[in-house]
């Protein structure tokens, strides 16, 4: 039984300063409820909406980057439904003439590249936010905050071409990267990207899972729903067409209501907004699209000689890509890429820090300075890692941390002395080495590393130990 999945992704254009149809500020996160509102976003009688040009510009930018076909005429419509989060009793959205049609995003699956085609991209206003004491199914009341009401949203709708929860998550990851490169969206803000997932088992009814707020949540919700639907089919039950909610606490979906049809929304053109039309405007926006991740990846391979894998990881985050280029101006590009991808990125992930947060703790110039100490043989790899961890956790100057923690490498003369000491004080290990147990040399290296508290270069120490042993032989 084939699984069929389509996604409706609601992207809040939260890098803008104001809402979609009024001048209320968008920086409402963490503010008192219902303080960033006005007659327009509260839907008070007589209030007239005015389109935010910057929002239209950002929407076109996204559509172009997603390879979609822009409609030169865009019309807003009223989507009518009655719910507390809609103060007007309708949502200003787009129906038959949206922002754009088509487009695609490519994902890498176990079976190779897959093109996830898009059905449409349209603009609409965000509803308010309902808060529940407990879960949506157990709360005795709900509270509403209209600060979010009227925020500019893009709804990106895929064709039903995804076949697994993992593919859905890969699509969302790639979409987020593109949006961050376009600088129209801050993914770390609450409510920045919300997903409605439509899922069916081939030949059965379609179920919609509403308002999933995380990529992991999408994967878990779809995984649970696939299992639930298949179990029903095995028992000869019918899959009802309905809307369900994902309970993130229990990782299950629960029924909310029967699924609405398009005619239930009674769409009609928004009489207070005129259609938007301009070929010149579209071309003007096209010229503002920055270098995209796949373009940057190919440039990193060509200009810096990086491997495909290293370049692919570096461009996952525009801040990480920029950081790499700053470091690569000062030290070898391949060395820079390895330290950033293999070490710094891992330390940031371990701490749950974004790359932007990491750069605020250890700048590109500081990172290049630190790696330069290692390339000159003044500090070991282990020492570099220790400094990175200290910088991320405590801060401080690079040289001061190295000196305070005694991380500067031991001189060749001192390593020679300690290697001779290790051989003199560990005769059994020497005898084992001479009897053919080559790993006994590692014990002697360990002796030196312990004496120097890890400051000696392991490779240099091992080479010296073997040299002295062979001389003694």
pLDDT the model gives residue 248: 83
pLDDT surpasses 80 at 319:
yes
User: Which region holds residue 242: left if phi is over 0, alpha if psi is between -120 and 50, else beta?
Assistant: beta
Please check the confidence at residue 21 and state whether its pLDDT lies above 80: yes
Tell me: pLDDT of 333 over 80: yes
Q: Is the pLDDT of residue 132 over 70?
A: yes
Question: Closest Cα partner for 115 from 63, 81, 159?
Answer: 159
Decide: 388 and 346 in contact? Cβ < 8 Å.
Answer: no
Of these ranges, 204-213, 234-243, 252-261, 292-301, the one predicted with the greatest mean pLDDT is 292-301
Determine contact, residues 1/201, Cβ cutoff 8 Å.
yes
pLDDT value for 470: 84
Q: Sketch the domain layout of the chain as residue ranges.
A: 3-284, 293-404, 412-472
- Nearest Cα neighbor of 200 from 138, 234, 167, 242 is 242
Greatest Cα-to-Cα distance within the chain, rounded to the nearest angstrom: 99
pLDDT of residue 62: 97
> pLDDT, tens digit, for every residue of 64-73?
999 999 998 8
Task: State residue 172's pLDDT score.
Answer: 96
Average pLDDT over every residue of 352-362: 94
Query: What pLDDT does 410 receive?
Result: 77
Confidence of residue 259 (pLDDT cuts 50, 70, 90): low
Please name which of 288, 308, 285 lies closest in space to residue 296, comparing C-alpha atoms: 308
What pLDDT score was predicted for residue 338?
97
Model confidence pLDDT, tens digit, residues 162-202: 999 999 999 999 999 999 999 999 888 878 899 999 999 98
Render pLDDT for 339-351 as a digit per residue (tens, 0 to 9).
999 999 999 999 9
For residues 226-239, give the mean pLDDT: 91
Q: Residues 6 or more apart from 214 whose CB is under 8 A from it?
A: 248
The pLDDT, as a whole number, for residue 189 is 80
Q: How far is CA 259 from the centre of its chain?
A: 31
Query: Using 50, 70 and 90 to split pLDDT, how confident is the model at 131?
Result: confident
Model confidence band, residue 276 (pLDDT cutoffs 50, 70, 90): confident
- Is 168:162 a contact under the CB 8 Å cutoff? yes
Tens of pLDDT, residues 80-92:
988 888 999 999 9
Q: What would the 3-class secondary structure string for 349-401 be? A: HHCCCCHHHHHHHCCHHHHHHHHHHHHCCCECHHHHHHHHHHHHHCCCCHHHH
Strands 3-12 and 152-158: antiparallel
Whether 473 shows a pLDDT value over 80: the answer reads: no
Confidence at residue 472, expressed as pLDDT on a 0 to 100 scale: 81
Select the more confidently predicted residue: 63 or 204.
63
Q: Give the phi and the psi of residue 109 in degrees, each rounded to 5.
A: -105, 180
Mean pLDDT to the nearest integer, 12-17: 95
Q: Provide the pLDDT for residue 68.
A: 96
In this prediction, residue 260 carries a pLDDT of 66
Residue 308 has a CB neighbour count (10 Å cut-off) of 11
pLDDT tens per residue, range 394-447: 999 999 999 898 888 777 888 889 999 999 999 999 888 888 888 889 999 999
The residue that leads in pLDDT, 298 or 454, is 298
* pLDDT value of residue 190: 79
User: What was the pLDDT predicted at 407?
Assistant: 85
Q: Is CATH 1.10.150.130 the right assignment for the domain spanning 412-472?
A: no
* Predicted local confidence at residue 258, as pLDDT: 77
């Amino acid at each position: 039984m084939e699984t069929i999945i389509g996604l409706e992704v609601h992207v809040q254009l939260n890098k803008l300063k104001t809402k979609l149809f009024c001048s209320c500020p968008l920086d409402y996160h963490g503010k008192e409820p219902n303080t960033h509102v006005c007659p327009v976003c509260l839907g008070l009688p007589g209030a007239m909406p005015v389109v935010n040009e910057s929002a239209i510009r950002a929407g076109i930018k996204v559509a172009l980057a997603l390879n979609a076909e822009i409609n030169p005429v865009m019309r807003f419509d009223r989507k009518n439904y009655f719910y507390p989060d809609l103060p007007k009793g309708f949502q200003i959205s787009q129906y038959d003439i949206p922002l754009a049609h088509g487009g695609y995003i490519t994902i890498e699956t176990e079976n190779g590249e897959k093109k996830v085609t898009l059905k449409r991209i349209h603009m609409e206003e965000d509803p308010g936010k309902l808060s529940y004491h407990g879960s949506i199914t157990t709360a005795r009341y709900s509270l509403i905050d209209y600060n979010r009401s009227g925020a500019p949203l893009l709804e990106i709708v895929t064709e039903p071409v995804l076949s697994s929860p993992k593919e859905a998550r890969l699509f969302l990851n790639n979409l987020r990267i593109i949006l961050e490169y376009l600088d129209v969206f801050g993914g770390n803000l609450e409510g920045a990207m919300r997903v409605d997932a439509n899922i069916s088992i081939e030949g059965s009814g379609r179920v919609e899972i509403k308002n999933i707020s995380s990529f992991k949540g999408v994967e878990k919700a779809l995984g649970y729903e696939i299992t639930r639907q298949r179990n029903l089919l095995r028992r000869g039950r019918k899959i009802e067409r309905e809307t369900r909610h994902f309970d993130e606490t229990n990782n299950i979906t629960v029924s909310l209501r029967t699924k609405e049809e398009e005619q239930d929304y009674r769409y009609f053109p928004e009489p207070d907004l005129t259609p938007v039309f301009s070929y010149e405007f579209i071309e003007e926006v096209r010229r503002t699209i920055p270098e995209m991740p796949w373009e940057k990846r190919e440039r990193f391979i060509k200009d810096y000689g990086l491997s495909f894998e290293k370049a692919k990881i570096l461009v996952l985050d525009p801040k990480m890509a920029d950081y790499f280029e700053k470091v690569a101006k000062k030290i070898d590009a391949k060395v820079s890429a390895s330290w950033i991808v293999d070490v710094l990125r891992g330390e940031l992930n371990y701490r749950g820090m974004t790359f932007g947060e990491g750069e605020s703790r250890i700048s590109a110039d500081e990172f290049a300075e630190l790696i330069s100490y290692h390339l000159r043989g003044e500090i070991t790899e282990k020492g570099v890692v220790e400094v990175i961890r200290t910088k991320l956790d405590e801060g401080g100057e690079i040289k001061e941390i190295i000196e305070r923690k005694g991380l500067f490498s031991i001189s060749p003369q001192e390593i020679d002395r300690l290697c001779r000491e290790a051989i003199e004080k560990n005769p059994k290990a020497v005898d084992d080495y001479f009897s053919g147990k080559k790993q006994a040399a590692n014990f002697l290296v360990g002796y030196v590393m312990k004496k120097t508290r890890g400051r000696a270069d392991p490779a240099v120490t091992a080479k010296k130990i073997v040299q002295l042993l062979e001389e003694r032989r």
